[in-house]
A and B are shown apart, each in its own frame.
Chain A
């Protein structure tokens, strides 16, 4: 039995790796994508272009503007002198936000009356607008605290002391890049498995396979192993890049991480082979792969949190193996989490894997035509 499985596995590897183009597709894109996406995928804002509309001749506005000039987040690109310019600059996306200081800004502030700072933001990407507003408010709050203390000799009755755990600087790369490990692994694994059965069906060689002494179970194992090996190798490579190139802290144990990766691979391979067994043509296999991959990524919590989804969609994500692996990868990397904190994530993935593999095995014989 082992010999037969080995023979099939070798044949599968040859089928995948023999074609030069196919080989390139397996190796080049993940390497390029981990680097490019690693830099690209972030919610942190850099070099936000600011326009300043300062009608105030006084010193207070200049002092506050100085704080924006000193910030690495902002870049003052435009100085404005009329209302009409505001809408032109924002419409054409020359600036993300405009700070408008009124004529009486300094007068108000020195008289102890709240001085109004008008902030106009481009809301086309409302997340960027919101983050940008948060940054602005933080700078203004610092300014307020210091001004009140130095010029007015008073402090607010209470203040917030905010700490963030696991990611002190709130660097969103730390959140996204471990997620890319899961993202690229799922893509590569599906690539290897989703067309593996329907390709043979279309060529007629699958029928031949079925009349050999191999049992469906053996075929299943033989078809799964290449995906597992390739997934593990590429997963390892991506984890190495994450740690060595992007300097993301890996605080937990590799055992916890790899057992997660292994169970995840099993579930994705199961789904991939199941899709491939349902499909009659490669076109359908490809469509099936997309139909699984795209929702699996978009509804995984990779970019937008699952907690923000409506209840019904949240329930739907329980069927998505990617949702669990993301929790595992991120918790192991940033939180140093161990099995007892994560076992609830392993179980559903394993279930998904077993069920889909079983369905695929049954379909091998049931779908003969």
Chain B
């Protein structure tokens, strides 16, 4: 390309971008999508999404009150994990469990104290509502904690010390307080930005075909590459703006620690934004009409990013073929990067692996766009 031709190309590209910017400014929904939506969604979800069960309503049934039984059940009072509710009989408590008024029942029978003081190995009945298996397991863990502390206290009161053969001493790295928000909110950024990228761009090419402006554009000297770049650049800038807002909120509003470097964050975000926009453009080019583009965008952006990205559901525990499928979800790589970046700090090995995947995906998407676009020009 001679110098003049390059100048012309740059001028045409600038023109296309300017046109797109005007269009964005005049239909403020695009700006709303890029800036308002991430802030709003992150705000609601950041507060709303949590896996930490607190104030669990638990039914307490003490068939025969005694100092020992009271001592045990007092472990559920003044405990932020539980909200104890007393019942007179197990039947009443079970009814409350059926009606979801309590999530668990702790039950000492009338021979509890007698057995405890004589033969030992006295049983304490625990019933949990297993419908939500994950919460049930967490609550079971909490109840075991109360029981262990009480055993210790009970042994001490009798002048002995609790002699468990093996004592587990846990150390949870990167998130010592086990605050689920710390990993959910960075993951949410990936889910939300997938949506934003898809929404911003899935309509833009289809719209021009539908309105006939694309045909008008084709009779000008504008090249295919310029049209595509003219669509990518403005929405990329918008998307990155939304991304910055999200990161700022994550750190300042939700108090998630930020232990990685700013450079790694920017680079990863840019790479991910390209794949998100690329996907939106593919939808737009492939669909042909805004109606179909909208339908496809609803179906293939949100749910896969939500379920297959590792944002809540652990990818390592999925069956192998499903783990294979998660590799085509770009959000998966970004979630992995963000969780490491926010909580663990820069671990370059993890970054590089994910960057390679993201780069591969972005290149693939843009290749598809070029080819598909070509077909439509004929």
Please, which residues of chain B bring their CB within 8 A of the CB of A236?
none
Q: Tell me the complex Cα distance, A312–B134, Å.
A: 24
Residues on A with C-beta less than 8 A from B149 are: none
- CB of B21, distance to nearest CB on chain A (Å): 16
Interface size on B, residues (CB 8 A): 116
Q: Would you call A25 and B292 a contact (CB within 8 A)?
A: yes
Interface string of A280-319 (1 = CB under 8 A from B): 0111111101110111011100011101111011001100
Query: Could you tell me if B317 and A162 are in contact, using CB atoms closer than 8 angstroms?
Result: no
A48-B316, A290-B195 known; A158 and B163 CB under 8 Å?
no
Assembly CA distance A90 to B343 (angstroms): 13
Contact B207 A283 (CB under 8 A): yes
* A residues near B123, Cβ cutoff 8 Å: 158-161
Q: Which residue among B47, B116, B303, B321 has the maximum number of chain A CB atoms within 10 Å of its CB?
A: B303
Q: Which A residues touch B339, using CB under 8 A?
A: 124-125
The contact string, 1 if C-beta is below 8 Å from chain A, for chain B 122-164, is 1111111111111111101101100100010011000000011
Decide yes or no whether A253 CB sits under 8 A from chain B.
no
Q: Bound state CA distance, A305 and B45, in angstroms?
A: 12
Cβ of B137 and Cβ of A134 under 8 Å apart? Answer: yes
B267 CB-CB contact with A under 8 Å = no
Task: Determine whether the beta carbon of A297 is less than 8 Å from that of B169.
Answer: no
Q: Is there an interface contact between A290 and B298, defined as CB atoms closer than 8 Å?
A: yes
Docked CA distance A45–B168 (Å): 20
- B297 near A286 with CB under 8 A, answer yes
Tell which of B44, B97, B295 touches A316, judged by Cβ atoms closer than 8 Å: B44
A136 part of interface (Cβ distance < 8 Å) = yes
Select the residue from B165, B180, B288 with max chain A CB neighbours within 10 A.
B165
Interface centre among B135, B155, B307, B343, by most A CB within 10 Å? B307
Whether the pair B306, A157 counts as a contact (CB closer than 8 A) is no
Interface 1/0s, chain A 80-118, versus B by CB < 8 A?
A: 000000000011110010000000000001001111111
A159 to chain B: which residues have CB within 8 Å? 121-124
Q: Which of A138-188 contact B (CB under 8 A)?
A: 140-141, 143-144, 147-148, 151-152, 154-168, 170-172, 174-175, 183, 187
Question: Closest residue to A196 on the B side, CB-wise?
Answer: B291
Contact indicator A140/B166 (Cβ below 8 Å):
yes
CB of B178 within 8 A of chain A? yes
Residues in chain A near residue B316, CB distance under 8 A: 45, 47-49, 96
**How far is A293 from B306 in the complex, measured between Cα atoms in Å?**
12
A298: B residues at CB distance < 8 A: 44-45, 48-49, 306
CB distance from A232 to the nearest CB of B (A): 19
Q: A159-B121, A160-B144, A191-B298 are in contact. Are A124 and B343 (CB under 8 A)?
A: yes
Question: B50's contact among A46, A161, A308, by CB below 8 Å, is which?
Answer: A308
Taking A117-B167, A190-B298 as contacts, is the C-beta distance between A175 and B29 under 8 angstroms?
no
Q: Is A219 an interface residue (CB 8 A)?
A: no
CB of B263 within 8 Å of the partner chain: no
Complex: A140 Cα to B44 Cα, angstroms: 39
Q: A57 interface residue, CB < 8 Å from B?
A: no
Q: Are A297 and B165 in contact (CB under 8 A)?
A: no
The answer to whether B129 and A304 have CB atoms under 8 Å apart is no
Chain B 15-42: CB-based contact to A (< 8 A → 1; otherwise 0): 0000000000001010011000100010
Complex interface: stretch among A1-9, A35-43, A206-214, A348-356: A35-43
Asked whether B252 is an interface residue with its Cβ less than 8 Å from the other chain, the reply is: no
Indicate if B302 sits at the interface (CB-CB under 8 A).
Answer: yes
Q: Given the complex, which residues of B lie within 8 Å of A26, measured CB to CB?
A: 295
Say which residue of A152, A158, A293 sits within 8 Å of B298 (CB atoms): A293
> A223 within 8 Å of B by Cβ?
no
A131 within 8 A of B: yes
Task: Say which size band chain A's interface belongs to.
Answer: 35 or more
**B120 and A126 contacting across the interface, CB-CB below 8 Å:** no
Q: Report the separation of the CA atoms of residues A134 and B140 in the bound assembly, to the nearest whole angstrom.
A: 9
CB < 8 Å: which of B121, B178, B195, B298 contacts A187? Answer: B298
Asked if A201 is at the interface (CB within 8 A of a chain B CB), the reply is no
Chain A nearest CB, measured from B1 CB (Å): 36
Query: CB distance A112 to B163 under 8 Å?
Result: yes
Residue in A closest to B94 when the chains form the complex, CB atoms: A165
Distance of B28 from chain A, by nearest CB (Å): 10
Among the listed B53, B133, B340, which residue makes an inter-chain contact with A308, where contact means beta carbons less than 8 Å apart?
A: B53
Contacts of B343 in A (CB 8 A): 123-124
Q: Is the CB of A165 within 8 A of B129?
A: yes
| Closest-CB distance, A17 to chain B (whole angstroms) | 12
Flag if B132 contacts A305 (CB, 8 Å).
Answer: yes
Known interface pairs A25-B299, A143-B166, A299-B48; A287-B29 also in contact (CB < 8 Å):
yes
A121-B173, A299-B45 known; A93 and B126 CB under 8 Å? no
Chain A residues contacting B302 (CB-CB under 8 Å) are: 290, 293-294, 297
| CA of A289 to CA of B168, assembled, Å | 49
Interface centre among B172, B184, B287 (most CB of A within 10 A): B172
State in angstroms the CA–CA spacing of A161 and B288 once bound together: 61
Q: Which of B128, B291, B317 contacts A42 (CB 8 A)?
A: B317
A215 at interface, CB cutoff 8 A: no
Across-interface contacts of A152 in B (CB, < 8 A): 163, 165
- 27 A-B pairs (CB sep. < 8 Å): A36-B325, A40-B313, A43-B314, A109-B166, A114-B163, A115-B166, A119-B171, A121-B171, A125-B314, A125-B339, A137-B144, A151-B165, A155-B121, A157-B122, A158-B124, A159-B123, A160-B143, A162-B128, A164-B136, A175-B134, A190-B298, A282-B291, A283-B29, A287-B199, A298-B44, A299-B44, A304-B312
Apart from A147-B166, A191-B295, A330-B131, 9 more pairs, CB < 8 Å: A21-B286, A123-B174, A147-B165, A162-B128, A163-B126, A164-B140, A170-B133, A289-B298, A293-B302
Chain A residues within CB distance 8 Å of chain B: 19, 21-22, 25-26, 29, 33, 36-37, 39-49, 60, 64, 90-93, 96, 109, 112-131, 133-134, 136-137, 140-141, 143-144, 147-148, 151-152, 154-168, 170-172, 174-175, 183, 187, 190-191, 194-195, 199, 281-287, 289-291, 293-295, 297-299, 303-305, 307-310, 312-313, 316-317, 327, 330-331, 334-335, 341
Tell me the B residues contacting A by CB distance below 8 Å. Answer: 27, 29, 32-33, 37, 41, 44-45, 47-56, 72, 97-100, 103, 112, 116, 120-138, 140-141, 143-144, 147, 151, 154-155, 163-176, 178-180, 182-184, 195, 199, 202-203, 207, 286-292, 294-300, 302-303, 306-308, 310, 312-314, 316-319, 321-322, 325-326, 339-340, 343-344, 347, 349-350
Q: What 10 pairs across the A-B complex have the smallest Cβ distances?
A: A167-B130, A164-B130, A123-B175, A43-B134, A172-B133, A286-B294, A123-B172, A170-B133, A308-B50, A313-B48
